[in-house]
Amino acid sequence: MKVKSRFRSIEALPPDRAKLLSRQEGSHLFPWNTKFAPLGTEFIVYGIEFVEGNLCYRIGNPPQEAYTILGLAVLFDVTDPRVSRHWEFHVGSDGWFTLGPSSWSIEFYHDRLSDGEPELVDDFASIKKRFAEEYFSANRDD
């Protein structure tokens, strides 16, 4: 799956998209920072998470994609709707539902990746390579 950034923030959403957000009391909605990614930037979606009632895309942190970040789905347009054959369903200890690579079931995977843990840095490099091959291959089997 690939998406393109369309809105800079929740505040920029038109009413029809804003109504798609779950705004539970005490919840925090994940910000989308376009500082390093101009509107219209396309991303491979490495995973999907359901966080506090909101659909979020797990994408690479721009520009080098050294680790992943969450982006609220309503801030993006889908440009390639094919789902990855590398996705598996997980329920984390935090209760979040995730579709993503099997290694993402490792406890605190994304925190440890952003801390630069070598084993997970290597794993994410492998994930990025597999996904790039999957989405940029002209011979992808559907």
The tens digit of pLDDT for each residue in 93-124 reads: 777 789 999 999 898 899 999 999 999 999 99
71 lies in a domain?
yes
120 lies in a domain?
yes
| Dihedral over Cα of 85, 90, 92, 95: its sign | positive
Structure tokens at 96: 């979040």
What's the whole-number average pLDDT of the chain? 86
Structure tokens at 121: 């840095």
| Dihedral over Cα of 72, 75, 115, 101: its sign | positive
Q: Is the pLDDT at 32 greater than 70, yes or no?
A: no
141 lies in a domain?
no
Backbone angles phi, psi at 55, to 5 degrees: -80, 130
Stretch 31-43: mean pLDDT: 75
Predicted TM-score (pTM) of the model is 0.85
Q: Are 34 and 76 in contact (CB under 8 A)?
A: no
Range of 80's domain? 2-22+30-136
Q: Is the pLDDT at 128 greater than 60, yes or no?
A: yes
Identity (one letter) of the amino acid at 97?
A: F
The number of distinct structural domains making up the chain is 1
Identity (one letter) of the amino acid at 30?
A: F
58 lies in a domain?
yes
